[in-house]
Structure 1
Amino acid sequence: MTHTFRPGLDQVAAYKPGKQAPGDDAGRSIKLSSNENPFEPLPEVLRRIAATLPGAVSRYPNLAAPALTQALADRFDVAPENIALGAGSVEVAGQLIHALTAPGDEVMFAWRSFEAYPILTRVAGAVPVEVPLNADARHDLAAMAGAITERTRLIFICNPNNPTGTVVGAAELQAFMHLVPENVLVVIDEAYVHFDRDPGSPDGLEFFRQHPNVAVLHTFSKAYGLAGLRIGYAIARPEVTDHLRKVALPFAVSQLAQFAALASLEAEGELAARIDLIVGERERVYESLIGLGFPAVRSEANFVWIAAEAHSEAIAAGFEARGIAVRCFPGEGVRVTIGTPEENEAVLAAALPMLDAVR
């Protein structure tokens, strides 16, 4: 049987999740390819999930998620109407594109940045506009401002940027906002904001309060360790969130995810200690890789970018041969997620024999 598929789908690349490494000679396999939190959720979060499990599996979740929505509104001092939930911030990004673009409209983002941006854009029938990062692997905001056209509807600023871990400065983002037309929504994607220690980084919520055309994306997947439960949210003006709810997949945010997110918000003090550990390990891995001679880039996320360019595939293969899965972007670089201290030690031990590949 021959099927007729929607025109343009041949230009859409399927999202490639991080893979598990085959075991090394000792059978060890370490997955550092998906920017996952290396630790289990906190005991109270797991207890809340277990207590919720029986009813949460057999019944549809509450679509409005009132308890979680109110908790987020209180946490960020916004109205509940400013909150829109989705199955991870990536699904909310898709909601934004579907809600704000018609076929042929443009969605702009830096490149390289989050792999889902061009996929979500093309699936919606919109046109991706990829603006190259600058020589420091950072957003080139001047070039992005210059690329705005009358068809531009959305601009994603991934901050910290995935996969490079770099951040834009608050002052340069403010200057950029003055160049963006008011009818263009700027989405500050802060999936990794909890790991950002750069004092010059912008606070997405402050930009949301200052500019009517700013939305902020957050996720529970990274710092909170709920990647498998799929929950994220946007903070935006009510006229935006109202339309996000219209295009959202019904019941996409499970009751388990809602209760786990609520419990995680209540345990932020304990989570902060884990985040500090990951940040400390990130700095150790970065400094060690630099000391070894690898072209690592200073990161404000939970991963380190090795700008290995033509050597990227050889480095990724070298890690894999030693039982460590990293994310390779051929011709550009290798992204190494920060794992447990023991996993990070294995990364540094595996890096030593690969020095010749980057010289």
Structure 2
Amino acid sequence: MSTPQPRAHVERIPAYVPGRPPTTRPGTTTYKLSSNENPYPPLPGVVEAAHRAVDTMNRYPDMGSTLLYAGLSDRLGVPVEDLAAGTGSVALIYQLLTAYCDPGDEVVHAWRSFEAYPIAITSAGAVSVRVPVDADGRHDLDAMAAAVTDRTRVVMVCTPNNPTGPSVTQSELDAFLARVPSHVLVVVDEAYLEFVRMDDAVDGLATYRGRPNVVLFRTFSKAYGLAGFRVGYAVAPAPVAAALRAVSLPFGVSTVAQVAAVASLDAEQALLERVDALVVERDRVVEGLRQVGWRVPSPQGNFVWFDLGARTAAFAAAAEEAGIVVRPFAGEGCRVSIGEDEANTRLVDVAARFGPDGDVAPL
């Protein structure tokens, strides 16, 4: 007897592997450094605003995200018509591919890069064209430009790149965009933009204003610490933003999430102070790793990358033994979030014992 079958490409969708939480260990404080979460509690006023919003949970959310769009429009200096919200920036990836890709169309992106890219691309029935990052974990934009064909509809530029850490520069991005046909959408995925500290950093807003095929993806999950509420947004030319809104899940961004995001925008000064503190910790970790012989890619997000190859599982196990959980990518390396000060210190200690080339020493 025949049974209902999903579309053929559904069986090819890779599984998303979330960061695993730590196992409780009596007498030891354990830390989750596997999901690039902000270790700080919500910003002042955000919890209170969210609690007030809960009182209206019997009502549907504002499908137009009116207050959120108004707050973003004012903060960024962009028209409301150029904004589209989603349940995290990952939802916007799905929305954009749904709106712009037919089955068999190609999407070019660096690899390794954000794990959700090939999942969303395959879900849309499109073809994932993976261009290897270079030895320093950076986008090879020349190779990505060369990979664009007449079947390419979208290019993803993740900057800073998750999980390897480096960002592209504005000069590199401009040169790349000059080589991409104007009918191809280029997504500049800026989930970690608040953590960037580098010369010639990408100015996403100026780039989108100057090119009708550039889309920015941003999120409240990382720097703003609202990962549990799932709020992301796109800044795009009005026709692209309209297409993203057209294919969005109705009422997808909850009332509580919208209110918390607006309250977080109002508390931006406190946010920036926390981001600065995380950047200081990131720099301390990198300096500590370099002092014990590690060469890690230049991190511009709130995480560091260990290129470990076959030693990946052993490093993850050594970290867990020390009470910290990292995110291993089998056979490639580990991404480790910048977390609480004690967790970061433990990471450097684990890396020192493990060594960049040798076996792990015992605790």
Q: Is the 8 A contact 2:289 2:352 kept in 1?
A: no
RMSD: 1.5
Q: Is the 8 A contact 2:44 2:267 kept in 1?
A: no
**Residues 23-102 of structure 1: matches in 2 within 5 Å?**
23-24=24-25, 26-55=27-56, 57-102=57-102
Letter in 1 for 2:37: E
What's 1:199 paired with?
199
Count of residue correspondences: 358
What's 1:10 paired with?
11
TM-superposition CA deviations, 1:65-122 (whole Å, max 9, x none): 1111011111111100000000000001111111010111111110000000000000
Letter in 2 for 1:5: P
What's 1:339 paired with?
339
**Residues 213-252 of structure 1: matches in 2 within 5 Å?**
213-252=213-252
State the alpha-carbon separation in 2 of the partners of residues 357 and 100 from structure 1: 48
What's 2:359 paired with?
357
Letter in 2 for 1:8: H
Q: TM-score, normalised by structure 1?
A: 0.97
Question: Which range moves more in the overlay, 219-228 or 290-299?
Answer: 290-299
What's 2:174 paired with?
174
Alpha carbons of structure 1 residues 259 and 352: separation in structure 2 relative to 1, 3 Å: same
- How far did 1:11 drift? 1.3
Q: Is the 8 A contact 2:109 2:157 kept in 1?
A: yes
What's 1:132 paired with?
132
What's 1:321 paired with?
321
Alpha carbons of structure 1 residues 202 and 218: separation in structure 2 relative to 1, 3 Å: same
- How far did 1:45 drift? 0.8
State the alpha-carbon separation in 2 of the partners of residues 42 and 263 from structure 1: 8
State the alpha-carbon separation in 2 of the partners of residues 63 and 350 from structure 1: 47
What's 1:120 paired with?
120
What is the percentage of aligned positions where both structures have the same residue? Answer: 48
Q: TM-score, normalised by structure 2?
A: 0.96
- How far did 1:312 drift? 1.4
For residue 135 of structure 2, give the secondary structure of its aligned residue in structure 1: coil
Q: Is the 8 A contact 2:24 2:30 kept in 1?
A: yes
Q: Is the 8 A contact 1:295 1:308 kept in 2?
A: no
Letter in 1 for 2:179: L
- How far did 1:20 drift? 1.2
Is 1:279 the counterpart of 2:279? The answer is yes
Alpha carbons of structure 1 residues 68 and 274: separation in structure 2 relative to 1, 3 Å: same
- How far did 1:26 drift? 3.4
Give unmatched runs, 5+ long, in structure 2.
none
- How far did 1:358 drift? 7.8
- How far did 1:201 drift? 1.6
Alpha carbons of structure 1 residues 251 and 357: separation in structure 2 relative to 1, 3 Å: farther
- How far did 1:351 drift? 2.8
TM-superposition CA deviations, 1:305-350 (whole Å, max 9, x none): 1112221111111111222110111222111100011221222233
Q: Is the 8 A contact 1:112 1:163 kept in 2?
A: yes
For residue 319 of structure 1, give the secondary structure of its aligned residue in structure 2: helix
Letter in 1 for 2:359: A
TM-superposition CA deviations, 1:174-225 (whole Å, max 9, x none): 0111100000010000000000001222111111011111010000000000
Question: Which range moves more in the overlay, 321-330 or 264-273?
Answer: 321-330
Q: Which structure has greater helix proportion?
A: 1
Alpha carbons of structure 1 residues 357 and 298: separation in structure 2 relative to 1, 3 Å: farther
Q: Is the 8 A contact 1:311 1:358 kept in 2?
A: no
Q: Is the 8 A contact 2:312 2:333 kept in 1?
A: yes
- How far did 1:126 drift? 0.7
Question: Which range moves more in the overlay, 344-353 or 92-101?
Answer: 344-353
State the alpha-carbon separation in 2 of the partners of residues 296 and 67 from structure 1: 41
TM-superposition CA deviations, 1:19-54 (whole Å, max 9, x none): 012245734321100000001111211111112111
Q: Is the 8 A contact 1:20 1:29 kept in 2?
A: no
Q: Is the 8 A contact 1:23 1:29 kept in 2?
A: yes
Q: Is the 8 A contact 2:319 2:347 kept in 1?
A: yes
TM-superposition CA deviations, 1:279-304 (whole Å, max 9, x none): 00001111111211223222000001
State the alpha-carbon separation in 2 of the partners of residues 28 and 349 from structure 1: 16
Letter in 2 for 1:145: A
State the alpha-carbon separation in 2 of the partners of residues 201 and 311 from structure 1: 33
Q: Is the 8 A contact 2:318 2:360 kept in 1?
A: no
